[in-house]
Amino acid sequence: MILQENVDLRPYTTFGIKAAARYFTTLRSNEDVHSFLNSRLFLNGKHLILGGGSNMLFTGDYAGLVARMELKGIRVVDETQDHVTLYAAAGENWHDLVMYCVAHNYGGIENLSLIPGTTGAAPMQNIGAYGVEIKDVITSVEAVDKKSGEQRTFSNKDCAFGYRESIFKQEAKDQYLINGITLRLTKRNHVLHLQYGAIQETLNGMSIADPTIRDVSNAVIHIRQSKLPDPAKVGNAGSFFKNPSITVDAFQLLKEKYPSIPSYPSTEGLIKVPAGWLIEQCGWKGKRFENIGVHPNQALVLVNYGGGDGGKIWDLAMQIRDSVIDKFNITLHPEVNIVMQ
Ligand SMILES: Cc1cc2nc3c(=O)[nH]c(=O)nc-3n(C[C@H](O)[C@H](O)[C@H](O)COP(=O)(O)OP(=O)(O)OC[C@H]3O[C@@H](n4cnc5c(N)ncnc54)[C@H](O)[C@@H]3O)c2cc1C
C-alpha cells in the first residue's frame, strides 16, 4: 500500500471541488486492502473509501485517510444457454462494464449506460436510470467487514435495496468495503425497457424498429449526453437530491394549489414528486452565485463552474431545501454523500 500525503482531490471527484486529503492511498489488490485495514492510520483515525467520486461533495479538506478503490477484473462465473453470471471487481468503471456487456450481448444493464463511477459503488445507492435499477440484475455483493477483515457475501435480498438506498447506506453504513459484485444477465430473449424517458422516441428518430441492447444503450447515451451536464466540462455530481415521496392526501392538497405538479407512483401507496420540478418552482433553475450554481437545464443538478467551494455548494443546497419546505412543506434529502470537514 503506497501512502501519499496532502493530496489534491480535484481529479478524483466529478464536482472538481478544491479539497485535500491528509492521507491518500489506492487499493489495487487484495494485499492493498489487507494492508489498508491493518494500517495504523485506518485503526487510529478516520477514513473514507472513494470510488469514482461522482456522488460525493467534500465541504472542505479531509483530515483522515482516503482510499481509492481500484480493484480490477471481470469474469464469467456461471453460464447457461440463456443467462450469464458475471463477477466484476469494485474498481471497474461502471460504464466500461456496461460497454463490455453490450459488446458480449449480455442484456440487463444497457439502460444504465453512461452513469459515472465504479462498479463497487453501484449497489451503495442502487443506481438507477430509465426504468432499470442495479437491484434488478445483482445476485450478490462481495464485501470485507472492515472491523474483522472477514469476507462476506450479501445476497440481493440481504442488500435491502430501495430507491437510491441499500443496507450499505443504512444499518451497515461504513461497515463494509465492497470488493466486487455479481450480476445475472440475459444472453438471448433480452427484456428491453423502452417505456421510460425518451428511449422509444429516440429509437424512432434513429429509425430502429427492432432494437438490440446496443441500440438501447446508444439511445440512452444520446439522451444523457443531450440532457445532463458532462462533469468533464462543468463540475457536478448528478442529481443532488432524491425525488421525495409523499402521501396521497398531501399530494391531493398540492395538486389543488399547483395543478401542473408532475408525479409518479412510488412504493407503499406513496406518490413520488420530481425534486427538480419543486426546485424549479422555487426559482432556483439557472441561478448562479459566482462560480457555483444551479444548472440552467436541470434544476436538480448543482454545479461548480470552476474553483467553487464545497462548503458554499452545501450552503446553497440547504437554502434550496429550506425554500422547498417553505413553499411545498416537503423536505428534500441529498442523494449526494456529503463529507463534512
Ligand atoms: C453526471 C452524473 C450523472 C449521474 N447519473 C446517475 C443516474 O442516472 N443514476 C444514479 O443512480 N446515479 C447517478 N449519478 C450518481 C453516481 O454516478 C452514482 O451514485 C455512482 O454509483 C457513484 O459511484 P462512484 O464510484 O463515483 O462513488 P463515490 O462517489 O466515489 O462514492 C459514493 C459512496 O459510496 C462509497 N463507496 C464507493 N466505493 C465503495 C466501495 N468499494 N466500498 C464501500 N463503499 C464505497 C463512498 O464512500 C461514498 O459513500 C450520476 C452522477 C453524475 C456526476
Evaluate if residue 303 carries a pLDDT over 80.
yes
Tens of pLDDT, residue by residue over 127-181, are 999 999 999 999 999 999 999 999 999 999 999 999 999 999 999 999 999 999 9
Confidence tier at 75 by pLDDT (50, 70, 90): very high
Q: Are residues 13 and 40 in the same domain?
A: yes
Domain boundary among 207, 227, 247: 227
Where does residue 337 rank: exposed (0-12), middle (13-18), buried (19+ CB within 10 A)?
middle
Cell numbers found for residue 96: 466500461
User: Are 264 and 334 a contacting pair, CB within 8 Å?
Assistant: no
Domain boundary among 185, 208, 227: 227
Tens of pLDDT, residue by residue over 210-245, are 999 999 999 999 999 998 999 999 999 999 999 999
CB count, 10 Å around CB of 126? Answer: 21
Pocket test of ligand 1: the residue of 93, 114, 124, 126 to mutate, having most ligand atoms within 8 Å of its CB, is 124
Span from the CA of 150 to the centroid of ligand 1 (angstroms): 24
* Model pLDDT, residue 268: 78
Evaluate if residue 115 carries a pLDDT over 80.
yes
Q: Are residues 223 and 78 in the same domain?
A: yes
Residues β-bridged to residue 229: none
Q: Are residues 222 and 241 in the same domain?
A: no
Residue nearest to atom 53 of ligand 1 (CA): 237
* Model pLDDT, residue 1: 85
As a whole number, mean pLDDT of residues 274-300 equals 97
The CATH number of residue 116's host domain is 3.30.465.10
Q: Are residues 174 and 252 in the same domain?
A: no
As a whole number, mean pLDDT of residues 17-43 equals 96
The rounded distance, in Å, linking the Cα atoms of 148 and 158 is 19
Q: Are residues 202 and 249 in the same domain?
A: no
Q: Are residues 25 and 162 in the same domain?
A: no
Cell numbers found for residue 148: 474483522
Domain boundary among 36, 69, 102: 69
Atom in ligand 1 nearest the alpha carbon of residue 15: 53
* Model pLDDT, residue 296: 95
* Model pLDDT, residue 197: 77
* Model pLDDT, residue 17: 92
Across all residues in the chain, what is the average pLDDT? 96
Confidence tier at 266 by pLDDT (50, 70, 90): confident
Helix-then-strand count for the chain, H and E: 8, 20
Confidence tier at 184 by pLDDT (50, 70, 90): very high
Confidence tier at 26 by pLDDT (50, 70, 90): very high
Ligand 1 lining (C-beta closer than 6 Å): 14, 48-56, 69, 90, 115-118, 120-122, 124-125, 127-129, 177-178, 228, 231, 236-238, 337
Span from the CA of 294 to the centroid of ligand 1 (angstroms): 20
Q: Name which residue leads in pLDDT, 1 or 143.
A: 143
Lowest mean pLDDT: which of 100-109, 143-152, 261-270? 261-270
Confidence tier at 267 by pLDDT (50, 70, 90): confident
Q: Are residues 114 and 153 in the same domain?
A: yes
* Model pLDDT, residue 29: 97
Residues annotated as catalytic are 164, 239, 335
Task: Determine the Cα angle at 95 with ends 91 and 96, to 5°.
Answer: 70
Q: Are residues 277 and 137 in the same domain?
A: no
Q: Name which residue leads in pLDDT, 266 or 31.
A: 31
Confidence tier at 270 by pLDDT (50, 70, 90): very high
Q: Are residues 248 and 154 in the same domain?
A: no
Atom in ligand 1 nearest the alpha carbon of residue 176: 43
* Model pLDDT, residue 205: 94
As a whole number, mean pLDDT of residues 64-90 equals 98
Where does residue 82 rank: exposed (0-12), middle (13-18), buried (19+ CB within 10 A)?
exposed
User: Are 139 and 115 a contacting pair, CB within 8 Å?
Assistant: no
Atom in ligand 1 nearest the alpha carbon of residue 91: 41
User: Are 272 and 265 a contacting pair, CB within 8 Å?
Assistant: yes
Q: Are residues 254 and 326 in the same domain?
A: yes
* Model pLDDT, residue 182: 98
Span from the CA of 336 to the centroid of ligand 1 (angstroms): 8
User: Are 53 and 62 a contacting pair, CB within 8 Å?
Assistant: no
**Residues of the domain holding 113:** 74-227
Residue nearest to atom 14 of ligand 1 (CA): 238
The rounded distance, in Å, linking the Cα atoms of 317 and 340 is 14
Confidence tier at 90 by pLDDT (50, 70, 90): very high
The CATH number of residue 323's host domain is 3.90.78.10
* Model pLDDT, residue 159: 98
Q: Are residues 86 and 223 in the same domain?
A: yes
The CATH number of residue 35's host domain is 3.30.43.10
* Model pLDDT, residue 320: 98
Span from the CA of 182 to the centroid of ligand 1 (angstroms): 18
Q: How many domains does the chain have?
A: 3
As a whole number, mean pLDDT of residues 331-335 equals 97
Q: Are residues 111 and 204 in the same domain?
A: yes
* Model pLDDT, residue 196: 86
Residue type at 2 in one-letter notation: I
Span from the CA of 255 to the centroid of ligand 1 (angstroms): 33
Pocket test of ligand 1: the residue of 14, 25, 115 to mutate, having most ligand atoms within 8 Å of its CB, is 115
